[in-house]
Amino acid sequence: MRFTDVSRVRSRFDVRVEARDGVELSVDVYMPADPGDYPVLVTRTPYDNNRADQKPPASTAPQVPSDRFKLLAARGYIVVAGDVRGRGDSDGEFEPFRHEATDGADTVTWARDLPECNGRLGSFGAGYAGFAALAAASAAPVDALAVWSPFAAAEGLPTRGGAVRLDWLFWMHLVGGRVRGPVDAPPWRSIFRSRPLSGMHEALGRPDAPWPDWLAHLEPRDPHWSSLTSGGGAETNAAPTLLVSGWWDGGLSATMKHWESVSASGGRHSLVIGPWDSARTRRPVSIMGGVEWGPGSVVDPDELLLEWFDHHLRDDPSPRAPAPVRVFVTGRNAWEDLDRWSAADDVETLWLTSAGRANTRIGDGKLTPHAPTREAADHFVHDPDNPVPWQPGHGSFSRTGSAAFTLETSFATGRDDTLTYTSATVDVPTLVRGTPVVHLFAETDRDDADWVVSLEDVFPGETRTVHLAHGVVRAGSVPAFRSGVPVGYRIPMTQVAHEFQPGHALRLVVTSSLFPLYAVNLGSADYLGATEAERGSHSVSHGPRLPSRIELPLHREETHDQAS
């Protein structure tokens, strides 16, 4: 793609498209140099359609206008790149998610009526633009879709397991005006520590942000979230859909929700998951999180996009049909082609045990295949004013004051407020592929608490640990919760495909914060309105009566076909 001649691409800027309610939307149109009829690709973004594929906010690379649209046009597509309502050059008011199905459908209909359109139409996007593509396709069918880590509004945006995700406040700042907000201007460290949680948008200086409205609907199945999408989404889309995400992409769970919907509908769909975080799904590199995954881990997203659309919009027989599911197996460091994202061949249960001192990575916590025969508990103090960091030196999701993203976790597991449980080393390659689930019996003397669990690969001699997946639950969101007694929690983790090599061990880490990925739980029954921090005495129990454990989806060696 980078050597394609784009010098003769024709462009038209700020073309007006009238939505059904009379609001004028702005699109830029990129066309091949030679006259003729071509398939049309539609994308719509809140990040300025002139810079829709610029370097992600957390990148230290200089931000430059995108040439992706010109590249696509030079390869024989008409590209219609629009600003969503209320952003960039489009009129109206930006209300996140609310108008994307109808506005997108109106844009698709307009694009299909272009004199140069040959009747074949696709849509693509990443993040919010990925959601917009799916929503539009539910209201105005297209012939193919390609989306990178699409948002999933219908699942309840601001929380995971009842704990509020602070990256959404960061996102609200980015889209808080007509153009993207300055990433590093706000004092993020103090903003994310401001109280109450419900007023954090005031500390940000964006009193009109939808933050309080979103926090008023913490339950993921609250009808508020489905009403935002006007019924649009992957579940009503039948077009061949390519979904792309990464194992450390914050949108992985949303991508998998979309995959469940599209794959259940039948048809020719494809899922690709690589060793990437959110930014690197758009620009993969071989080193991610401080780990070298090998040159084979790098996929050119532009070529992936073109191969998909060439196959479905041009009936081009040259690109081979992609596998329904293609995942990069970390640990093995190789791609694997699958017929489906299937249930495990077996579920292995490892039980938490200790002599009562599992604190830090040098504690006595163990994961064992044998159910414990005696009751025990591990204790720690949760201090909301000194939360466990998500990344070392990471005060926000921007570049300022943040270290490079790392999967090494020793900066956290040396703390006394983390409990670690480590297995014996494995003797043979052990593939875990699917959703690990932790069943945790935990207690707090406060009126609320978060329980965060993480799965790690421990290298021989503790020379390195690699974070693989995590899950979280807020105690106050669970109906059975009571202060002062152990309560059982089921905590699904993010999905994994990881092969533990001989001599490596599995580790489960348990703590009560992961800041600033999640808002710090102050221990109050008033989760959103609390202003005073309360230290909490927390404990994790394990034994015959309170069997804390992790369930791992194992796949036998003969079940995989290694992809080239």
Rounded (5°) CA angle 215-52-45: 45
Instruction: Using the CB atoms, write b or e for 220-240: b if 16+ within 10 Å.
Output: beeeebbebbbebbbbbbebb
Whether residue 59 has pLDDT greater than 50: no
Give the lowest-confidence range in 407-411, 473-477, 492-496: 407-411
Higher pLDDT, 393 or 49: 49
The Cβ-side half-sphere exposure at 425, using a 13 Å CA radius, reads 10
Across residues 352-372, what is the average pLDDT? 97
* Spatial contact of 492 and 471, defined as CB atoms under 8 Å apart: yes
Whether residue 561 has pLDDT greater than 50: no
Partnered with residue 368 across adjacent β-strands are: 351
Distance between CA 130 and CA 249 in Å, rounded? 14
* pLDDT for the residue 363: 97
* pLDDT for the residue 55: 42
Under the banding of pLDDT at 50, 70 and 90, the label for residue 278 is: confident
Whether residue 145 has pLDDT greater than 90: yes
First and final C-alpha spacing in the chain = 21
Across residues 453-471, what is the average pLDDT? 97
Under the banding of pLDDT at 50, 70 and 90, the label for residue 34 is: very high
* pLDDT for the residue 557: 63
* pLDDT for the residue 422: 99
* pLDDT for the residue 560: 43
Class of the 10-156+219-338 domain?
alpha beta
Share of residues in the chain with pLDDT > 90 (%): 75
Which one, of 304, 305, 300, lies nearest residue 283 by Cα? 300
Give the lowest-confidence range in 263-267, 330-334, 423-427, 480-484: 263-267
Q: How far is CA 528 from CA 93, 163, 289, 410, in A?
A: 27, 11, 32, 31
Partnered with residue 353 across adjacent β-strands are: 366
Joined together, the tokens standing for residue 477 give 């969101």
Q: What is residue 197's DSSP assignment?
A: G
Joined together, the tokens standing for residue 492 give 């699904």
Which one, of 151, 113, 114, lies nearest residue 132 by Cα? 151
Higher pLDDT, 263 or 119: 119
Distance between CA 421 and CA 440 in Å, rounded? 13
Q: Helix, strand or coil for residue 143? A: coil
Higher pLDDT, 254 or 522: 522
* pLDDT for the residue 144: 94
Higher pLDDT, 321 or 526: 526
Which one, of 136, 160, 157, lies nearest residue 147 by Cα? 136
Domain residue spans of the chain:
10-156+219-338, 346-557
- Summarised one tens digit per residue, pLDDT across range 187-236 is 999 999 999 999 999 999 999 999 999 999 988 888 888 777 654 455 56
Give me the CATH code for the 346-557 domain, please.
Answer: 2.60.120.260
Distance between CA 314 and CA 303 in Å, rounded? 15
Higher pLDDT, 478 or 150: 478
Under the banding of pLDDT at 50, 70 and 90, the label for residue 319 is: low
* Spatial contact of 122 and 40, defined as CB atoms under 8 Å apart: yes
**For tokens 């020793």, what's the residue?**
410
* Spatial contact of 444 and 475, defined as CB atoms under 8 Å apart: yes
* pLDDT for the residue 65: 37
**For tokens 């532009």, what's the residue?**
302
* pLDDT for the residue 182: 82
Across residues 141-151, what is the average pLDDT? 91
Across residues 81-105, what is the average pLDDT? 95
Give the lowest-confidence range in 175-179, 467-471, 478-482: 175-179
* pLDDT for the residue 316: 77
* pLDDT for the residue 221: 80
Whether residue 154 has pLDDT greater than 70: no
Higher pLDDT, 61 or 484: 484
* pLDDT for the residue 263: 87
Which one, of 465, 551, 466, 458, lies nearest residue 503 by Cα? 458
